[in-house]
Amino acid sequence: MSVIPEEFVDLLEKPAVAFFSCIGPRGEPQATPVWFRWDADKGEILVSLMRSRQKFRNIEREPKVSLGILDPMTSFRYLEVRGTVTAIEDDPDKAFVDGLSERYLGRSPYPLTAPGDERLVVHITPVHCTKQG
């Protein structure tokens, strides 16, 4: 059974930006905006990260994360999803990030890919939600 409230699933299905929060190396929070995709069949939120970034090192060390999603239509409605990183897989052909680019920008491939970028697909299983609106 999903912890996502039914009346907020639409925020996961539309291309809203999420603030991805994790715990930094000195115990401080780190929050950055990310694109995501909701996999309703598996009950997971998927995000793309780069292996070279601090966020990846943070979730390797501490897999508890949070995603804050603000409704793009009204700032009075939001969903915060707290969860656990349950899997990290390579995205060697950049198919996942290219799919996110199509979802958010209407074009693929992702325009900011640089030679040598190592992309990952991070699977987050929601364990708790807070909501407003």
Cα distance between residue 20 and residue 39, in whole Å: 17
Average pLDDT over residues 16-36: 97
* Domain boundaries along the sequence of the chain: 6-132
Task: Give yes or no for residue 60 having a pLDDT over 90.
Answer: yes
Instruction: Residue 124: name the closest of 14, 49, 74, 15 by CA.
Output: 49
Task: Give yes or no for residue 111 having a pLDDT over 90.
Answer: yes
Question: What share of the chain in percent tops pLDDT 70?
Answer: 99
pLDDT for res 2: 83
With cut-offs at 50, 70 and 90, classify the pLDDT of residue 16. Answer: very high
- Write the CA distances from 35 to 38, 46, 58, 107, integer angstroms: 10, 9, 18, 14
Instruction: Residue 38: name the closest of 1, 67, 60 by CA.
Output: 67
Mean pLDDT of the chain: 96
Average pLDDT over residues 79-105: 98
The whole model's pTM is what?
Answer: 0.95
β-strands 44-50, 119-132: how paired?
Answer: antiparallel
- Write the CA distances from 21 to 87, 105, 120, integer angstroms: 17, 23, 17
Task: Give yes or no for residue 118 having a pLDDT over 80.
Answer: yes
Output the CATH code of domain 6-132. Answer: 2.30.110.10
